Structure 1
């Protein structure tokens, strides 16, 4: 769970990091507030949200654990509790 949350936060932060690198390559200091206008931050946030949503979708479709039907925990024929699993 923590790994997927960190991956999603990383995907959201990626456009901001790339913009800061872009400012650095253009010989502008990336920590100056004037370079982070409301329009630029809005577009970066929108791009980050789209990347995060795409990451969730890719993880949901291509993750190997989600294939098959889920068999919930149940009592087996010997009277022992069998844990839930995907089959």
Structure 2
């Protein structure tokens, strides 16, 4: 779960980091708020969300599917047995 969250955050942050590198390359300081116009932030946000959605689609289509039959979590002799694939 944490890995999926970190991957999604990384995909979302990628356009912002690329824009910051672009500002740095253009000899502008990327931490100055004036260089981040509302239009640029809007488009970077849309691109970031698009990357996250495409990442989910890619993981759903090409990710490793668990094999076997799913056995849901259940109580076994007073102990909780977690769900698993057999």
Give TM class, smaller chain: 0.7 to 0.9
In structure 2, the partner of 1:57 is 57
**Shift in Å, 1:14:** 0.2
Contact 2:11/2:51 (8 A) holds in 1? yes
**Shift in Å, 1:84:** 3.6
Taking structure 1 as the reference length, what is the TM-score of the superposition?
0.78
**Shift in Å, 1:63:** 1.1
Taking structure 2 as the reference length, what is the TM-score of the superposition?
0.79
In structure 1, the partner of 2:10 is 10
Mapped to 2, the partners of 1:45 and 1:35 lie a distance apart of: 16
Gaps of 5+ in 1: 74-80
The alignment's C-alpha RMSD in Å is 2.1
Contact 2:67/2:85 (8 A) holds in 1? no
Within-5 A mapping of 1:1-87? 1-64=1-64, 66=65, 70-73=69-72, 84-85=84-85
In structure 2, the partner of 1:78 is none
